[in-house]
Amino acid sequence: MSEKIPAHIAIIMDGNGRWAKEKNLPRYFGHKAGVESVREVVRSCARLGVKYLTLFVFSTENWERPKSEVNALMQLLKKLLKSEAKELHKNNVRVKAIGQVERLPKEVKKNLEELISLTENNKGLTLVLALSYGGRQEIIDAVKKILKTKMEPEKLNEKEFRKFLYDSEIPDPDLLIRTGGELRISNFLLFQSAYTEFYFTPTLWPDFREKELISAIEDYQKRKRKFGRILEFE
């Protein structure tokens, strides 16, 4: 691969439920199968030199799913945050989270906080977990924070607004990948994705592996990113 590796890749991990349905299994098994895709993608991004990887793990809308499914997802998340901690730390991965994490169950939040604390000084890949996250909600929450500061409207610009997002340190994604064949971004990183390159694949998330990731990156490498400007050689 060339040296033009996206600094920040964001992924909407879609298709777990359909993967399970195709195999006549409960939806939970699709979520469980998707864990191996997460492991491989994290390892691959670290190896390829990606600086930030943001995974859309659980949205604000996902709370409206059947209670049994939400509970199963939370139990799986609680287990993974603990079981994967050692390897993530060993591989120099720093973990961060964005979203309304205060809505997470107590034990899930505890394991998340412990993982973030354990890895906070690591210098390799930064893995951002979008949990109880919604792009519109992030913007609303940012506006609420701004109103509390009593900032004069004239002083508010894009640079200032970014300071009030869930984590202003995280750069905008260069490449956003959605698996599962749907052609939308489902309320994910709305403010940050203004000039992000999108890549949609019909591959269901549990079947998404390094080969698919590299295909997405190679497609990205063919793009000409203008950011609204005209390139000099055009």
- Active-site residue numbers? 14, 62
Q: Is 121 exposed, middle or buried (0-12, 13-18, 19+ CB in 10 A)?
A: exposed
Give the DSSP H/E element, type plus range, for residue 97.
strand 94-98
Give the DSSP H/E element, type plus range, for residue 55.
strand 52-59
- Tell me if 78 sits within 8 A of 104, measured CB to CB: no
* CA angle (140, 135, 18) in 5-degree steps: 145
- Tell me if 46 sits within 8 A of 124, measured CB to CB: yes
In angstroms, rounded to a whole number, what is the distance separating the alpha carbons of residues 2 and 5?
7
Q: If you count DSSP H runs as helices and E runs as strands, how many of each does the chain have, helices first?
A: 8, 6
In angstroms, rounded to a whole number, what is the distance separating the alpha carbons of residues 84 and 87?
6
Q: For residues 79-104, b (16+ Cβ closer than 10 Å) or e, as one string?
A: ebbbebbeebbebebbbbbbbbbeeb
In angstroms, rounded to a whole number, what is the distance separating the alpha carbons of residues 94 and 88?
8
